[in-house]
Amino acid sequence: MQKLGVGMLGYGFMGKAHTNAFKKANYIFYPMPVETELISICGRNEDKVREAARRYGYQRWNTDWREMICAPDINIFDNTGSNNVHEEPCIAALQAGKHVIVEKPFALNLEEAKRMSNAAKEADKKGIKSIVAFNYRFAPALRLARRIIAEGRLGRIYHFRSQYLLDRFSDPQAPFIWRLDKKQAGSGVLGDLNSHAIDMMRFLLQAEPLSVMAWNTTFIDKRYDSDGIVHPIDTDDASALWLKLENGAMATFEASKVATGYKTMWRIEIHGSKGGIVFDLSKGNDLQFFTKDDPLYLQGMRTINATEPEAHDYAKYWWPRGHNLGWEHYHIHMIEHFLRCIATGEDIAPWGATFEDGLRCQEIISAALQSSDEGRWINV
């Protein structure tokens, strides 16, 4: 069997998570319809990228992504770089016939997102696949949520509610990093966290917003980097968002990186005429589900530990029921899906996020930025 060669841009948090996913997919979902080989990893600091190549078993390394794009033994280009190096490398890779994975937030702005989405559409005609790494679409409990909703068990949807709350920057002394810089990151938690939530709403409800109201706030207006240099902060520490959905439902979002008390808490609640769903990433193997189908005296929110083979497609490959997965496994499932789509020609959608999904998410984020500035609803 031919193996697909992987070229990885970035060796930080996400580069590690994606690399781990490629390594594990080969033996966990055995036999994969196609296997992969780690060819090259790319970063600007040669010492560090060389070390990363050794650590993860890449055959070589690059300091310029352009070298990767033209390498004939690289079939998949995985872009885990910061937002400001998404557009150019992704489009170049797609045009060079590489399958592309890109981390979120998808793009720095709407124009970039449109060009990237167009490039993906063109590539798709030639069988070249692309995916945005909205990894939570591959969390078993959330896949189960999608199934329950699609089965009509919630009835007419009234509410979608998301709170994505971290405390990583609640200390005013927490140092400046690139994620806090608008030029590199596009926005703060709006793009970093609410992009996940917006995509998840679209994924779960299969519904689109008609208009957006947003409120972004920066609590700590300057921070010092590790060299002691002060940086004014031009990205949001917290972002509240309302989306009027086409089906009449209210979708409300809040994201914060100064939510002291929560290391990583992402709570999703959905209420319909017949049932409800609650998910909390800090107990990520579990889905809470309420149905009015039970007799009234037996009704209650139930906690489903989504580790049964009946509960999701990936369970049978892992451990016996009741043995929990961790955060890293969502990425592994995503890579499996991506590779299977490449091998079989299946569509990335609806289980994975296409570049069109990335564009749609960016449209909402862009509208949110405008709405927050102008203090009014913006149609999308």
Please pick, from the candidates 256, 354, 362, 366, the single residue that binds a second copy as defined by CB under 8 A. Answer: 256
Buried b / exposed e along 190-220 (16+ C-beta atoms within 10 A)? bbbbbbbbbbbbbbbbebebebbbbebebee
Which residue in 320, 314, 319, 356 sits closest to 334, CA to CA?
A: 314
Task: Show contacts with a second copy in window 201-230 (CB under 8 A).
Answer: 213, 215, 217, 219
Q: Shortest Cβ distance from residue 182 to a second copy (Å)? A: 20
Task: Show contacts with a second copy in window 140-199 (CB under 8 A).
Answer: 144, 147-148, 154, 156, 158-159, 161, 163, 165-168, 170-172
Q: Shortest Cβ distance from residue 159 to a second copy (Å)? A: 6
Which residue in 65, 83, 82 sits closest to 74, CA to CA?
A: 65
Distance, in Å, from the CA atom of 243 to the CA atom of 364, rounded to the nearest integer, reads 9
Distance, in Å, from the CA atom of 190 to the CA atom of 240, rounded to the nearest integer, reads 8
Q: Shortest Cβ distance from residue 350 to a second copy (Å)? A: 19
Please pick, from the candidates 45, 59, 303, 344, the single residue that binds a second copy as defined by CB under 8 A. Answer: 303
Q: Which stretch binds a second copy (CB under 8 A): 66-74, 77-85, 124-132, 252-260?
A: 252-260
- Any idea which residue has 């609590």 for tokens? 219
Task: Show contacts with a second copy in window 6-65 (CB under 8 A).
Answer: 13, 17, 19-20, 23-24, 27-28, 30-31, 55-57
> What angle (nearest 5°) sits at the alpha carbon of residue 190, between those of residues 159 and 268?
30
Please pick, from the candidates 84, 109, 184, 324, the single residue that binds a second copy as defined by CB under 8 A. Answer: 324
The yes or no reply on residue 300 touching a second copy (CB under 8 A) is yes
For residues 213 and 334, which CB has a smaller minimum distance to a second copy in the complex? 213
Q: Which stretch binds a second copy (CB under 8 A): 82-90, 111-119, 237-245, 356-364?
A: 237-245
For residues 144 and 380, which CB has a smaller minimum distance to a second copy in the complex? 144
Distance, in Å, from the CA atom of 80 to the CA atom of 103, rounded to the nearest integer, reads 5
Task: Show contacts with a second copy in window 110-139 (CB under 8 A).
Answer: none
CB half-sphere exposure, 311, CA atoms < 13 A: 21
- Any idea which residue has 């697909």 for tokens? 4
Q: Shortest Cβ distance from residue 46 to a second copy (Å)? A: 18
CB half-sphere exposure, 279, CA atoms < 13 A: 27
